[in-house]
Structure 1
Amino acid sequence: MSNAAQTFEGASAHANPRDGHSALPAPARSWGTALRALAREPLLHFLALGGLIFAADAILHPPAKDEKVITVTKALRQSFIDTFDEDKQRTPSEAELQKMVEAWVASEILYREGKALGVDRGDEMIRDRVAFKLQYLIFDQVRVPKPSEEQLRAWFTENHARFDEPERVSFLITPPSDEATAKRHLDDIREQRESEELRDQTRAILDRPVPSLSAAFGDQFGEGLLKLPTQQWTVLQSKDGWHVVRLDARTPGAPAKFEDLRDDAAKIWHTEETRKQAWEAVSRLKANYTIRYEP
């Protein structure tokens, strides 16, 4: 039996005209008992409190008129169509498109209401998502004109190192150790008495771009490796320790030709120019703010 029904029965059993009050008609007693039972329900209290909070917030922070207007643009609908099928085998039906639109509208409503109540404050995930969305909108608004042939050639000349084929090296290298251990390993390798463990731990590095050697092994190692004759074991120091090294091959680099890479250069130029203009737009927004750094 429900709490409300039990309360009703208890009230009816103890109703007595001699207590100075007239007994209520059955319907009135039912409604009164039910209301008292509901008043004790925690869920009702929670809903009432929530309603008060929303009402108070609406009074203290009335929304601007445009905050209650949600516009489903043609561009938005087209974006749903474009992302519906990655393989572009079919477009969504009207019913499928409407479901996606309704889901977006519901999400937009929840976001606006939550933001109005300040639930985004202190939440880094929401902050990052909002920032990313604005960043996307800024990038979407940037319109970069097609560069002239002279502009693209000049840019390619300034950035030719990014397109040139670098010199490459192939070499064998043992794990890092102290200098004495590396020299002992060198003697063992030269006498062909190195341990099976050392052979298993020796790595073959193939066609490694020379410009990447410094970052991986240190400047001293890269410079020393390029001075070595091929097919000769020696010890070299890297930023991690001492190694036994054998240079096996060097492949010279080749300068890039603009005619061969024009399309790639144009794509990279467009990406960088878009990023540059988007950052300039952010900088203009930044001019409206005062940035303070705590000591």
Structure 2
Amino acid sequence: MRFYKEPLFHFILIGLAIFGWFYLVSDEAEPPVEAETITIDSDDIALLKTRFEASWKRQPTDAELQALIDSWTREEILVREARKLGLDRGDQVIRARLARKMEFLTTAIASSVAPEDAVLQEHLAQNADRFTTPPMIAFDQIYLGDAPDPDVVDDTLQALNGGADWSSLGVSSLLARSMPLTAAGAIDTTFGRGFASQLDGSEPMIWIGPINSGYGQHLVRVTEAKPGYLPPLAEIYDFVLNDWRRATAQDLAQAQYESLAARYRVETPESAEGGS
């Protein structure tokens, strides 16, 4: 029959012969490899459910949960076998992820702590500059152009002091004529670096100038000034709490690292040379 001449038939015969040979020469007394145990406890199930709910906004069905367990089991088996082969060694991505997970454990501890108000009040006092709102200024401005004639500047100031309608004076531009209470950094972003500092100490409702900006010169009057302000703890409780937890997590992480590092002795080429 023709199929006896087919290469595929010959390949199958060779394969069967090879498997038969290994079966005959294998050590029948060799004990079977003891299976490793993979334990999936209630915490693992809860975590799988939580991840599913976070993505799909509902609890998984029984079939979906079983699929999640099967997927987790598959991943666990592959990870264990990869470690046996040493595939995790020398992989910078895996090393970085493991290091971040170790640090995350410390962060999680800090995030779960609920400090007393006295602790947060002390943190607020020790880091007052971090929580103080910046000084703010509100002002009106008249744009005079890139390089106005000094006489024009003087005439405009005289008109303003005489009660002229300030909104009709100056050169038209896209700059806001009136700025509400704004921090210095935001003002400088709009008018150019150093503009806000030229308004420091200005008497409210008095026109001054010319004030230089990134666009030219202006006449300005401050309409309101609000100094920096450190709010009480009650107003910024969540902000202070999160900042305290961040700082605490950093301290705990460093303490944990120093404790772990004490278990190791680090040798470098320089230390090896020094010991010889």
Change (3 A) 1:88 1:250: farther
What's the counterpart of residue 35 of structure 1?
Answer: 11
Counterparts of 2:258 and 2:187 in 1: how far apart (Å)?
A: 37
8 Å CA contact 1:165–1:253 kept in 2: the answer is yes
**Normalised TM-score (structure 2):** 0.56
Partner of residue 171, structure 2: 194
Aligned pairs (5 A) from 1:1-295: 29-30=5-6, 34-35=10-11, 70-86=38-54, 90-113=58-81, 116=85, 118=87, 121=90, 124=93, 126=94, 128-140=96-108, 145-171=113-139, 182-184=146-148, 190=156, 192=169, 194-195=171-172, 199-201=173-175, 206-210=180-184, 220-230=194-204, 232=207, 234-236=209-211, 244=218, 246=220, 247-262=222-237, 264-285=239-260, 288=264, 290=266
- Relative CO higher for 1 or 2, CA cutoff 8 Å, sep ≥ 6? 2
> Conserved in 2, the CA contact under 8 Å of 1:144 and 1:273?
no
Provide Cα deviations, 1:155-184, integer angstroms capped at 9, x if missing partner: 232233434444312357899xxxxx7433
Secondary structure in structure 1 of the residue aligned to 2:137: strand
Gap runs ≥5 in structure 1: 1-24, 40-64, 176-180
The structure-2 alpha-carbon separation of the partners of 1:90 and 1:26, relative to structure 1 and needing over 3 Å to count, comes to closer
Q: Which residue matches 2:30?
A: none
Give the alignment's Cα RMSD to 1 decimal: 5.0
Q: Secondary structure at the match of 1:208?
A: strand
Summarize deviations over 1:270-295 as a string: whole Å, max 9, x none: 34323321243234445647598xxx
- Report if aligned partners of 1:174, 1:201 keep a CA contact under 8 Å in 2: no
| Cα displacement string for residues 92-114 of structure 1 (whole angstroms, at most 9, x for unaligned residues) | 23322222232233334444555
Q: Distance in 1 between matches of 2:66 and 2:177?
A: 58
State the shift of 1:137 in Å: 3.5
Deviations 1:221-259 (A, max 9, x none): 443222344563645567x78664734432344432234
Q: How many residues align?
A: 231
Q: Structure 1 vs Structure 2: percent identity of aligned residues?
A: 17
In the alignment, structure 2 segments of 5+ residues that lack a partner are 16-33, 157-167, 269-276
Shift of the 254–109 alpha-carbon distance from structure 1 to 2, 3 Å rule, reads same
